[in-house]
Amino acid sequence: MNDVNVKIPFVDLSLQHQSIQKQMRQAIEDVLERGDFILGKALSDFEAEFASACGAEYGVGVACGTDAIALGLQACNIGAGSEVILPANTFVATLIGVLRAGATPVFVDCDPNTALIDLAAAENAVTLKTKAIVPVHLYGQVVSPQELINFAQRHDLMIFEDAAQAHLAHRDGYKAGSLGIAAAYSFYPSKNLGAFGDGGILVTKDTEVAQKMVRLRNYGASKKYFHVEAGTNSRLDTLQAAVLHQKLPHLAGWNANRLEIARQYDSELAPLKSMGITPIENQSGDGHVYHLYVIKVDESCPLQREEIQEKLAALGIQTGIHYPIPCHLQPAFSNLCYKMGDFPHSEKLAKQILSLPMYPGLTSSQVKEVVAVIASLVSEKQGKLLHI
Ligand SMILES: *Cc1c(COP(=O)(O)O)cnc(C)c1O
């Protein structure tokens, strides 16, 4: 936390935890009593329920979302020699997952209005080696399912969803997690469904993918001490699964609250459009689960994004930037030989975006206050400029 008194935090998980503390404690105690800490009952219960909530058949819990991507791609037989299309503007874990699977990442730019992968631009990224596309349902908004499915069918590609920000999101009648061969989720504490530590899951309708994933997370064993692939140790702890299992029934309600908050932000922010501040567009109606609520501060705004962020912080309002550097410009991946200018929309967004406080329980007066403070900062600066 910051030095200044935080008046409106970026996220506050204590609110959702308070309401179900008793049940979570009981679920943890049950695990202690059973002692089934690894691959225990709460894990299989949770895996089945989460998969079904995503419109999938199987769920395989792993140590984190990054592993769900890396091992999940492997389970889908996507690895060395395969090119995988992914957006340049995503959390770096999407890229790390693709690389760890042994595949070659091929970046694509985004639509500047939604920040989601631009499927028209993806047409130019397809080669004879392309095997899959990893759409990222960024900020909680599902990439257009019909366009995605058409694209994948046209080029005979697998769809492997990075749904780490999109638990229970939906669009045009399709659920996130059900669009392709498999989908990866993260249960990092601040995700829409968060554990008390790291966690992740792969969901799939495909029996073979599920079985291979079950082996990969458990040393590649098909039965005890019999190893059919070079797997690893990446299991979702039974204790974490017990917590997630208690939270799952509340997730839809928490998401609905996020949507309500986002709609209030939308309407309060509307007058700021003329001053260069616009929200990232929601094109998925009530299926958006708003993991993040993100605005763009463009060149016409009298204040720069950094100034707004600093001034808000000084007033006790926390914000974030998701993400300040697109993947193709991260120093660790310079060997991929991308350069500044390759993905202009992603690069521009990285400079303009600002994530406002968003979590279930954020009150309507807090939302009003955040927007009122931004409005007054911007108009104060505008006034000063006019008087020069
Ligand atoms: C959080 C996140 C991940 C990685 O999840 P971890 O559990 O932190 O490993 C992957 N992709 C996206 C888009 C994410 O937001």
pLDDT tens across 351-379, in order? 999 999 999 999 999 999 999 999 999 99
* Residue 162 in this model has a pLDDT that exceeds 90: yes
- pLDDT band for 75, please (50, 70, 90 cuts): very high
Please tell me the residue having the least CA distance from ligand 1 atom 5: 65
Is the minimum distance from the CB of 90 to ligand 1 under 6 angstroms?
Answer: yes
Q: Which two tokens stand for residue 20?
A: 């179900």
Domain that holds residue 321: 251-386
Looking at the structure, tell me whether residues 357 and 297 fall in a common domain: yes
Looking at the fold, whether 30 and 77 belong to one and the same domain comes out as yes
Query: Percentage helix, strand, coil, to 5, in the chain?
Result: 45, 15, 40
Mutate to test the pocket of ligand 1, among 134, 137, 165 (most ligand atoms within 8 A of CB): 165
Element housing 346 (H / E): helix 344-352
How much is the pLDDT for 101?
Answer: 98
Question: Poorest-confidence range of 12-21, 104-113, 298-307, 318-327?
Answer: 12-21
Q: Is the pLDDT of residue 39 over 80?
A: yes
Determine the pLDDT at residue 281: 98
Summarize the confidence of residues 165-187 as an average pLDDT.
98
Q: For residue 265, which of 379, 192, 368, 376 has the smallest C-alpha distance? A: 368
**Which ligand 1 atom sits closest to the C-alpha of 186?**
7
DSSP structure string for 196-258: SS--EEEEES-HHHHHHHHHHTBTTEEETTEESS---B----HHHHHHHHHHHHHHHHHHHHH
- Residue 3 predicted with pLDDT over 70: no
R_g of the chain, CA atoms, integer Å: 21
Q: For residue range 235-260, list pLDDT tens digits in order.
A: 999 999 999 999 999 999 999 999 99
Q: What pLDDT shows up at residue 283? A: 98
Tell whether 135 and 207 lie within a shared domain: yes
Does residue 3 form part of some domain? no
Phi and psi at residue 201, in whole multiples of 5°?
A: -155, 150
Domain final position from 215, 235, 250: 250
* C-alpha neighbours within 13 Å on the C-beta side of residue 25: 6
Secondary element (H or E) of residue 308:
helix 305-314
**pLDDT in the model for residue 181:** 98
Q: What is the 3-state secondary structure (H, E, C) of 11-56?
A: CCCHHHHHHCHHHHHHHHHHHHHHCCCCCCHHHHHHHHHHHHHCCC
365: its two tokens = 């007066």
Q: For residue range 137-149, what is the model confidence (pLDDT) as tens digits? A: 999 999 999 999 9
Give percent of the chain above pLDDT 90: 95
Does the beta carbon of 93 sit less than 6 angstroms from any atom of ligand 1? yes
Task: Quote the number of domains for the chain.
Answer: 2
Are residues 231 and 324 part of one domain? no
Residue 383, pLDDT score: 85
Quote the pLDDT of residue 186.
Answer: 98
Cβ of 198 closer than 6 Å to ligand 1, yes or no, is yes
Residue 25: the pLDDT is: 97
Residue 9 covered by a domain: no
The beta strands (E) that lie in 130-171 are given as 130-133, 158-162, 170-171
Predicted confidence band of residue 388 (pLDDT cuts 50, 70, 90): low
Buried b (16+ CB within 10 A) or exposed e, 285-310: eebbbbbbbbbbbeeebbbebeebbe
Do both 63 and 182 map to the same domain? yes
Beta bridge partners of 226: 223
pLDDT at 36: 98
Q: Which residues, including other chains, have CB under 8 Å from residue 344's CB and lie 6 or more apart?
A: 109
Same domain for 244 and 309, yes or no, is: no
Whether residue 5 lies inside any domain: the answer is no
Mean pLDDT, the chain, whole residue set: 97
Q: Determine which of 60-64, 98-102, 382-386 has the lowest per-residue pLDDT on average.
A: 382-386
Task: State the CATH number of the domain containing residue 41.
Answer: 3.40.640.10
Give the rounded distance of the alpha carbon of 284 from its chain centre.
Answer: 16
Length of the chain: 388
Out of 250, 268, 289, pick the residue that ends a domain: 250
Residue 7 domain-assigned (yes or no): no
Is the pTM of the predicted complex or chain greater than 0.85? yes
Residue at 119: amino acid letter: L
Position 323 in a domain = yes
Q: Once rounded to an integer, what is the mean pLDDT over residues 76-93?
A: 98
- Residue 346, pLDDT > 70, answer yes
Same domain, 241 and 261: no
Q: Which atom of ligand 1 is nearest to the CA of 64?
A: 7
Distance 74 CA to ligand 1 centre (A): 17
CA of residue 302 to ligand 1 center, whole Å: 34
First to last CA, the chain: 38
Q: What is the pLDDT of residue 381?
A: 87
Q: Is 90 exceeded by the pLDDT of residue 4?
A: no
